[in-house]
Amino acid sequence: MGVLRFVFLGIAAWIIFRLVQRALGLQPPPARREEKPAAPPQAMRPCAYCKVHVPEGESTQSKGHFFCSEAHRDAFFRGQR
């Protein structure tokens, strides 16, 4: 009997300890880094027509779409209608 009560008290103390610990330890973790996305110098854009990825600087952009060439831009908008 005595041993059982001791164990029960130990478990109860542990639960209370955990509850207090959780109540006190709710502050967010200190190591919260602001992650800046490492923007590549040239974002690769898929051609809307042939899906080939081309650097944004070398792509032809029109109406929110990127194209590897003006020929594909024309072909894309021709095929849309």
Which residues inside 43-62 make contact with Zn ion, applying CB under 5 A?
A: 47, 49-50
**Which listed residue (45, 66, 68, 73) binds Zn ion by CB under 5 A?**
68
Name beta bridge partners: 61.
66
Q: Per CB under 5 A, does 72 bind Zn ion?
A: yes
When the beta carbons of 5 and 54 are compared against Zn ion, the nearer one is 54
Give the whole-angstrom CA distance, residue 28 versus residue 62.
45
CB neighbourhood size of 59 (10 A): 24
Which positions touch Zn ion (CB under 5 A)? 47, 49-50, 68, 72
